[in-house]
Amino acid sequence: MTTPQSYSDKYLHLGEKIDLDAHVVCVYKIKSTQMTMREAAAAIATEQSTGTWTEISTLKEENFLKRSGKVIEIEGNIAKIAFPEEDFSLDIGGVPQVLSIVAGNLFGLDSIEGVRLEDVIFPRSMLREFKGPKFGVEGLRKILKRPERPLVGTIVKPKIGLSPEETAAYVYEAGMGGLTNGKDDETLSNQRFCPLEERVVAIAEALDRVRSESGHIMIHAINVSTNGHQILEVAERAQELGASQIMVDVLTCGFGAVQVLAEDPSIKLPVHVHRTMHAAMTRNKDHGISMKVFAKLTRMCGGDALHIGTFGVGKMKGEATHDLVYRDMCLSPEVPYRPMMPVASGGLQPGMIPALIRIAGKDLQCQAGGGVSGHPLGVRGGAMAMSQAVEAGYLGLTAEEYAKDHRELRMALERWGSV
């Protein structure tokens, strides 16, 4: 016999006026064949606040209204549930505790086949507890002395397998080809063939060489993703040895990892945020968590740049309309923090960049791994082609138009075509 999911009409407050300054409002898309929308929404509010699968004798009546989630709106398959601010614990608990309420057990309730957290709206008092990016769009532009153009970067490829010297040689070539950003790939850490400390030193030297030989500024994000008890120490060590940026995988390491790297006074570097594993939660449109929620939380926690997708042009699953929502979440004044740089990455190559910029705008970091190192002229040629493509996009020209006078871009188009 299965245990029925209990819900109570007491959690339904449809049409009632609630104080939005004292609640966290969650927007859920729900699919249930066993329950009505009212029942399913009430079941979520029950499970995520004061209830459980059966009536209990320990919930005091006087606490019920103060602590319970309230279903405040249902429209079609969308329900809004407001959780009292008092239910949250930011000093100890933080984003992990927030997620355990707004995105917790509810995903596994047997009687609800699908539920997707589309958005979370925090009251101002809670937003004030977060600091947001230290650098963000403006800070990165200032470091790179690049006030208007989109940033243009690469992910060192192959993902793993290069030595520190080979990695640094790649970065040097990329910098000489005009790229502003380099980064470790998400699977590169401290493997024996490429120890983190040696890599940091070699890359810092390469970037210094680029600057002294060409005057061009490039930064490179070192992947410091690791266990919670080590992350600060690893980031501090990377900084000490000359890292110009650090990278963290937000979903494998947790939002607390982003926050500590952004807020700890010892770290003075911008934080590039990768989202490896996100698609396990964001890809299914009927179940999981929207990237919008992850973007909002990352910005609250102080990420300076975040991968948000390639607006339907790259290799990763995505659609322009959705990615525009995530981009807006990085940049919009909806939350009281500096704008965070949206990063487009995944299967990009120069022939896609002007179209990408046309869709996504100029506050964007365009990034290509294979689209740089797969160029017929090698990394420098690929970096030049990417830089030319960004210039074309910035000027409002197509890749073909700009390629007429730019050999590297032309060669990229011959190899990969354009969109």
Contacts with Mg ion, residue ranges (CB under 5 A): 185-186
How far is it, in rounded angstroms, from Cα 262 to Cα 27?
28
The residue (of 253 and 348) whose beta carbon lies closer to ligand CAP is 348
Residue type, 48: Q
Nearer to ligand CAP (CB atom), residue 115 or residue 221: 221
Q: How far is the CB of 316 from ligand CAP (least distance, A)?
A: 4
With CB under 6 A as the contact rule, which of the stretches 48-56, 111-119, 153-161, 297-305 interacts with ligand CAP?
153-161
Say if residues 187 and 249 touch (Cβ distance below 8 Å): no
Q: How far is the CB of 399 from Mg ion (least distance, A)?
A: 23
Q: Which residue among 142, 145, 285, 315 contacts ligand CAP (CB under 6 A)?
A: 315
What is the contact mask toward ligand CAP in residues 86 to 125, using x (rule: CB under 6 A)?
Answer: ----------------------------------------
Which residues, other chains included, contact 321 with Cβ-Cβ below 8 Å and sequence gap of 6+?
A: none
Residue among 123, 288, 339, 346 that touches ligand CAP (CB under 6 A): 346
Distance, CA of 138 to CA of 322 (rounded, Å):
24
Stretch that binds ligand CAP, among 32-40, 89-97, 154-162, 329-337 (CB under 6 A): 154-162
157 binds ligand CAP (CB under 6 A): yes
Q: Pattern of binders to ligand CAP over 364-403, x per CB under 6 A?
A: ----xxxx--------------------------------
Which residues in 270-309 contact ligand CAP (CB under 6 A)?
275, 307, 309
Q: Are 111 and 4 in contact (CB under 8 A)?
A: yes
Strands 151-155 and 23-31: unpaired
* Beta carbon nearer to Mg ion, 163 or 276: 276
Nearer to ligand CAP among residue 79 and residue 219 (C-beta): 219
Name which of 203, 189, 179, 197 is nearest 159 in CA terms.
189
CA distance 339 to 357: 18
Q: Of 109, 111, 6, 8, whose CA–CA distance to 54 is shortest?
A: 6
User: How far is Cα 367 from Cα 310, in angstroms, rounded to an integer?
Assistant: 10
Bridge partners (DSSP) listed for residue 273: 248, 306
Per DSSP, what are the bridge partners of residue 344?
A: 366
Selected catalytic residue, list 13, 274, 292, 375: 274
- Residues 161-200 touching ligand CAP, rule: CB under 6 A, are 185-186
Number of residues lying near ligand CAP (CB under 6 A):
18
DSSP 4: P
Q: How far is the CB of 310 from ligand CAP (least distance, A)?
A: 7
Query: Quick one: 116 or 157, whose CB is closer to Mg ion?
Result: 157
151-155 and 70-75 beta bridge pairing: unpaired
Q: Using DSSP, how many helices (H) and how many strands (E) does the chain show?
A: 18, 13
Q: Counting contacts by CB under 6 A, is residue 155 touching ligand CAP?
A: yes
Q: Which residue has the tokens 């910098």?
A: 175
Task: Specify the residue, 186 or 236, whose C-beta has the smaller distance to ligand CAP.
Answer: 186
CB of 307 to Mg ion, least distance (A): 9
Largest Cα span, the chain? 78
Q: State CA 253 to chain mean position distance.
A: 13
Closer residue to Mg ion, CB minimum distance, 50 or 223? 223
- Cβ partners under 8 Å of residue 314, min gap 6: 344, 345, 346, 347, 348, 352
- Residue 200 contact, options ligand CAP, Mg ion, none, Cβ 5-8 Å cut-off depending on partner type: none
Contact 369, 156 (CB under 8 A): yes
Distance, in Å, from the CA atom of 17 to the CA atom of 114, rounded to the nearest integer, reads 28
Choice between 152 and 300, CB closer to Mg ion:
152
Is 157 catalytic? The answer is: yes
Q: How far apart are CB 174 and ligand CAP at their closest, in Å?
A: 13
Give per-residue burial for 234-267: e unless 16+ CB within 10 Å, then b: bbbbbbebebbbbbbbbbebbbebbbbbbeeeeb
Marked catalytic residue, from 157, 296, 322, 375: 157
Q: Is 274 in the active site?
A: yes
**Residues belonging to the active site:** 157, 274
Residues near ligand CAP, by CB under 6 A: 155, 157, 159, 185-186, 275, 307, 309, 315-316, 345-348, 368-371
